[in-house]
A and B are shown apart, each in its own frame.
Chain A
Amino acid sequence: MLSKPYRKIFGLVGFLALLASLPALLGQYSLHLMILVMIYVVIATSWNILVWTHQISLGHAAFFGIGAYTGALIFKAWGLTPYFDMLMGGIFASLSAVVLGIICLRMAPWALAIATVSFAEAMKILVINVPGLTEGAEGVGVLPLFGGGEAARVKAYYLVFGIAFLCVWMAYHLKRSKLYYAFTAIHDDQEAASMMGINPTKYKVLAFTISAFFVGVVGSFYAHYIAFIDPHSAFDVHISVESQIMPLMGGLYTVAGPVVGAFILTLLGEYLRITIKTGYLIVYGIILVMVIFYLPQGLVGLAEKSLKRR
């Protein structure tokens, strides 16, 4: 019998190997779903990082949309490699997060929640109303990533898998760094934290910046992968909703939680969308309410509890 840390590492390596071999096992449609899963792994993980500082964003769609539009518009203007667009998507999303963070710094958590959702709506309206730059409600077409077709989808999967891996890996290391203690310190008690020499302002904005970066990157990836982006899909409220529900269901404040939540809810959401069609989000609502009432630690918390009991 292997000792505990080894079991953990073997499990993780096995899981990653399974994910890496998926293109050989799955059809095109299933692979497309897995690409969406990876996108949501990134969004949910990033959102969860912000929660470490107890800042609640109800508008992560803003960063996704900014990333998507940055990527699509830079590609249209210069036609460079998609990797450059994705980097720029992340950078622009982070820059917007710095601005938003500075504006909202002195707000209470509830006011911030409202300001973020307003920010996403305002960005959508901005994009619709400056057609000279963004082509407005019509949307922007982009050349398909890796030339399109079946082989391109496999490449796209590996690319987004890589981005998701980097994002989760970063979250894992962040959680074990000094930064995490600073983040949770301002979460627990801002005044005490500032007396200990932790500047809450700096860390709040920093958390915002980190949280927005990877969301911007996958936003840009999405625009390239779908080969088209329009204001309503780029700034979809749905993205903001998923970004909250996934970490909550999997387990807030944990690294594995958002990943678990993204897998379950993306696949469940797709299944419900096909079977129920109208109003399938009602199931999301029920899950949300049930989780908050009966499972506030999420699935990861539940698993840890039952492991300890054994």
Chain B
Amino acid sequence: MDLAILSQVIVNGILTGGLYALIAVGLTLIFGVMRVINFTHGETLMLGSYLTYFLFTLFGIDPFISLPLAIFALFMLGVAIQRFVINPVLDAPHLNQILLTFGLVLIIQNLALILWSGNYISMTTRYSAISLKFGPLRVGLTRLLGLVIAISLTILLTLVLKRTEWGKSVRAVTQDREAAMLMGIDVNRVNMVAFGVGSAMGGAAGVVTSMIMYVFPLVGMMFVLKAFAIVVLGGFGSIGGAVLGSLILGLTESLVTNYVPNGSGWAEGVSFIVMILILVIRPKGLIYVE
């Protein structure tokens, strides 16, 4: 086995894993606080990527300037979705919640399809083609920057959850919603802000995907299924578990693509197979928080 190729494969896996983590961490936060399966998470990614694309092609705004804009816009959208759509059904059966977010996905996705057609589009920035060399390794600049964005936002979120008052309330609600309510925590507000922050992370992921791949209406669906697989195997609501799960998935996909015959076809299914395997061994996920 060629070591140079192997290390390239591992680097690619980590880069992909970083992107997955950015998507899965936001989803984990929402799931942890509200116990709601939020299919719209993929659509925040899709909207973030279209926002970046249009700002760039229409006004020449660099994706890195779009990043805070996308974060803000998707935060507001997330808060609105939580306030007007999710909140009324928080105590309804799971089935209703799942189908409701699924209905929202159909609306957002098909609106995008009607407005922007189903074509794959992509943008080329000045630095899109730049590739950095580290010894035998080659890393695309946009992919590396994407990883940097993912790591910084995840660390930022972890710090906010650990250090701030709001973060404490989020952790309290994640552990026990009723007890948190009795302690005088404004659970509604925690829910709303958590949904906003989670959606903003999704939007940020959209900025990253718009730089490194195509933009199209179904891009969110493609990622949200993987992100859910990661949330399940990471232990439902544990941010550390989500990051670990993302890296495992990114690495496995990269290894399968390169070392299994016809690997790129199989790689798409890796997340589902890995998820099922891990759940057979550890039904409560890799890292279980009571």
Task: Give A102-125 as 1s and 0s: 1 = Cβ < 8 Å from B's Cβ atoms.
Answer: 011011111101110111011001
Contact count band on A: 35 or more
Question: Is B61 on the interface with A (CB-CB < 8 A)?
Answer: no
- A80: interface (CB < 8 Å): no
A288 touches B103 (CB 8 A): yes
- Residues of chain A from 264 to 310 with CB closer than 8 A to chain B in the complex: 278-282, 284-289, 292-293, 296
Interface residues of A in 239-280 (CB under 8 A from B): 241, 244-245, 248, 252, 278-280
CB-based contact B225/A117 at 8 Å: yes
Q: Within 8 Å of chain A (Cβ to Cβ): is B156?
A: no
Do A118 and B272 touch across chains, with their CB atoms under 8 A apart? Answer: yes
A58 to B283, CA, bound (A): 19
> Chain B contacts of A117 at CB under 8 A?
225, 228
Q: In chain A between 180 and 235, which residues have their CB closer than 8 angstroms to a CB of chain B?
A: none
A126–B262 Cα distance when bound, in Å, is 12
Q: How far is the CA of A119 from the CA of B228 in the complex (A)?
A: 13
Which of B5-13, B108-116, B137-145 faces chain A?
B108-116
- Residue contact B107 to A286, C-beta cutoff 8 Å: yes
Q: Check if B118 is an interface residue, CB within 8 A of chain A.
A: yes
Q: A287 to chain B: which residues have CB within 8 Å?
A: 103
Contact present for A115 and B275 (CB under 8 Å): yes
Name B89's closest neighbour in chain A (CB-CB): A292
Report B-chain residues with C-beta under 8 Å of the C-beta of A252.
Answer: 95
Asked if B268 lies at the interface with its beta carbon under 8 angstroms from chain A, I say: yes
Q: Contacts A103-B276, A282-B107, A289-B107; is A56 near B102 (CB within 8 Å)?
A: no
Q: CB-CB < 8 A to A244: which residues of B? A: 99, 102
Residue from the list B85, B98, B262 in contact with A289, Cβ < 8 A: B85
Give Cα A248 to B99, complex, Å: 9
Q: Is the CB of B266 within 8 A of A125?
A: yes
- Is A285 within 8 A of B269, CB to CB? no
Given A278-B118, A288-B100, A288-B103: A115 and B110 interface contact (C-beta under 8 Å): no
Report how far A118 CA is from B107 CA in the complex, Å.
Answer: 22
Interface size on B, residues (CB 8 A): 46
**A contact face: mostly helix, strand, loop, or mixed:** helix
- How far apart sit A252 and B283, CA to CA, in the bound complex (Å)? 29
Whether the Cβ atoms of B102 and A107 lie closer than 8 Å is no
Q: Besides A111-B232, A244-B99, A282-B111, 11 other CB < 8 A contacts?
A: A54-B93, A111-B236, A115-B279, A118-B271, A282-B106, A284-B106, A285-B103, A285-B109, A288-B106, A292-B99, A296-B92
Spell out B's residues near A (CB within 8 Å): 35, 37, 85, 88-89, 92-96, 98-100, 102-111, 113-114, 117-118, 225, 228-229, 231-232, 236, 262, 265-266, 268-269, 271-273, 275-276, 279-280, 283
- On A, residues with C-beta under 8 Å from B are 51, 54, 56, 58, 103-104, 106-111, 113-115, 117-119, 121-122, 125-126, 128-129, 241, 244-245, 248, 252, 278-282, 284-289, 292-293, 296
A-B contact pairs, 27 of them (CB 8 A): A54-B93, A56-B94, A56-B98, A106-B283, A110-B37, A111-B279, A113-B37, A113-B94, A114-B229, A115-B276, A125-B265, A125-B268, A125-B272, A129-B265, A244-B99, A248-B99, A278-B117, A278-B118, A282-B111, A285-B105, A285-B107, A287-B103, A288-B103, A289-B107, A292-B100, A292-B103, A293-B89
